[in-house]
């Protein structure tokens, strides 16, 4: 473990919900829940105002609605989240060539590798400047942890939430870790935590006191050794730069189980086309086609087929996915389907086109994907997802508050406006159209003021 706190962990605060609040003035300071709104939907992110009511990520949406009935419930806008994530990751990469993203809103940075920090003072300044830059570029807040190891940096950023910075000084690690619950350590999930609790081990101090031999006996050699080292604040894992994608995949979860085999086949073909679209957008192709099926009883099956060479031809991927589907029993119903391509390369093998029946098909247009086969009319809620952007020919930009019974309610406001007015329209009103999200920061901000030597850093997030 290094002698200076030059490993930084950034975790954006309630990222999806914060983006929605930043783009919708009427939701600032209010409970916001982002996730799937169908009967089987789950919470992706809850704002801090919603967390007061006990709403948290991975909670069933129905339970969240019972706990916070007056919150705003919105469908995710992943394209917008990805674009903002790219801005944040760009700021991190300006600090160091060693950036290890963990998700859209979380990453480790080796400040020493980029010359951005070499001791406690320079690390604190780098963390403060990063937080100020993120706010200036995106309008959002992130919490920063600084320590001599990845494990401790992540623990520090958790202590900093929301909107703070915590630096763990070298030499204080054991004292900090000791009283914390064992679940604080990476790799200690609910099952391991319960196992340790039954053995009388509740805190990190108790974990260290148990000794390595006892932990190996309780948890097995690899896990026991690793947890004992972490209990002693030993973590030698390096920050690893972003690796290339190993696969490209798409999947859909259905509100109602699909029983019709023809419908299942149609969905698989549609997913294959979406997957190829992503492949082509990334300039990639792949050799192995993967089908994922989650059945009515939550059992999940995967089937794969490896081709002679890489392809990005939709007909080839469709036919391979269809062959894989033939080997899966779906009679009880299907709740999730996915199609993926792995074994990625940056070239294609032309002779694979022969596998597509001698006809080189092209991708259908996006509009065709929305209605791949004769099906019941798409419900209004699907055409106008709650929280998504629209533009009216007369009233301008806004977002969908809700829809149903042939009507859609829109609040007209922008990220830099006052809370806007609400109007209701027919779902087929030609003056109302889906729109691209507006930027959260509409103009180049002035230099951050008043950051001073400590960058306005608080020891703990408030």
CA 290 from centre of chain: 22
Q: Is 106 a residue of the active site?
A: yes
Specify whether the CB–CB gap between 346 and 309 falls below 8 A: no
- CB burial string 205-216: b at 16+ within 10 A, e below: bbbbebeeeebb
Catalytic-labelled residue, pool 20, 100, 106, 112: 106
- Alpha helices, H only, 35-149: 48-51, 61-67, 78-95, 120-138
Using left for φ > 0, alpha for ψ between -120 and 50, and beta otherwise, residue 87 falls in alpha
> How many distinct helices (H) and strands (E) make up the chain?
15, 17
Q: Any bridge partners for residue 432, and if so which?
A: 392
Q: Which residues, including other chains, have CB under 8 Å from residue 70's CB and lie 6 or more apart?
A: 31
- Alpha helices, H only, 211-260: 212-219, 221-231
Determine the 3-state secondary structure of 67 from DSSP: helix
Q: CA-CA distance, 40 to 254, in Å (whole number)?
A: 8
By annotation, the residues acting in catalysis are 106
């Amino acid at each position: 473990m290094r002698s200076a706190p030059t490993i930084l962990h950034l975790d954006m605060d309630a990222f999806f919900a914060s983006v929605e609040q930043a783009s919708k003035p009427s939701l600032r300071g209010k409970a916001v829940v982002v996730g799937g709104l169908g009967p089987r939907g789950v919470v992706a992110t809850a704002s801090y105002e919603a967390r007061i009511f006990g709403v948290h990520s991975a909670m069933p949406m129905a339970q969240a609605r019972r706990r916070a009935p007056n919150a705003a419930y919105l469908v995710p806008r992943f394209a917008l989240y990805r674009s903002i994530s790219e801005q944040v990751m760009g700021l991190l990469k300006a600090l160091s060539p060693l950036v290890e993203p963990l998700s859209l809103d979380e990453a480790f940075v080796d400040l020493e590798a980029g010359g951005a920090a070499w001791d406690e003072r320079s690390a604190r300044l780098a963390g403060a400047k990063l937080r100020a830059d993120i706010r200036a570029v995106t309008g959002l807040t992130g919490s920063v942890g600084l320590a001599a190891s990845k494990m401790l940096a992540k623990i520090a950023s958790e202590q900093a939430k929301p909107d703070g910075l915590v630096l763990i000084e070298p030499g204080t690690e054991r004292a900090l870790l000791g009283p914390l619950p064992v679940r604080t350590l990476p790799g200690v999930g609910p099952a391991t935590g319960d196992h340790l609790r039954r053995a009388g081990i509740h805190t990190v101090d108790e974990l260290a006191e148990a000794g390595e031999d006892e932990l190996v006996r309780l948890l097995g050699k690899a896990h026991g050794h690793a947890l004992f080292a972490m209990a002693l604040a030993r973590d030698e894992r390096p920050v690893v730069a972003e690796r290339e994608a190993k696969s490209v995949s798409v999947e859909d979860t259905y509100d109602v189980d699909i029983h019709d085999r023809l419908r299942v086949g149609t969905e698989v073909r549609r997913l294959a086309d979406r997957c190829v679209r992503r492949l082509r957008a990334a300039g990639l192709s792949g050799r192995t086609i993967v089908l994922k099926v989650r059945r009515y009883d939550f059992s999940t099956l995967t089937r794969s087929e490896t081709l002679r060479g890489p392809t990005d031809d939709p007909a080839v991927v469709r036919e391979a996915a269809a062959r894989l589907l033939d080997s899966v029993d779906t009679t009880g119903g299907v709740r999730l389907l996915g199609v993926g391509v792995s074994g990625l390369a940056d070239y294609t093998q032309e002779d694979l086109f022969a596998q597509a029946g001698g006809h080189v098909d092209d991708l259908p247009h996006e509009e065709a994907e929305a209605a791949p086969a004769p099906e019941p009319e798409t419900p209004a809620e699907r055409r106008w997802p709650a929280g998504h952007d629209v533009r009216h020919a007369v009233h301008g930009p806004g977002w969908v508050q809700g829809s149903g019974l042939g009507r859609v309610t829109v609040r007209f406001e922008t990220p830099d406006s006052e809370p806007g007015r609400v109007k209701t329209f027919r779902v087929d009103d030609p003056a109302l159209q889906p729109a691209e999200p507006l930027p959260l920061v509409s103009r180049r901000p002035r230099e951050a003021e008043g950051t001073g030597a400590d960058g306005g850093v608080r020891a703990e997030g408030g």
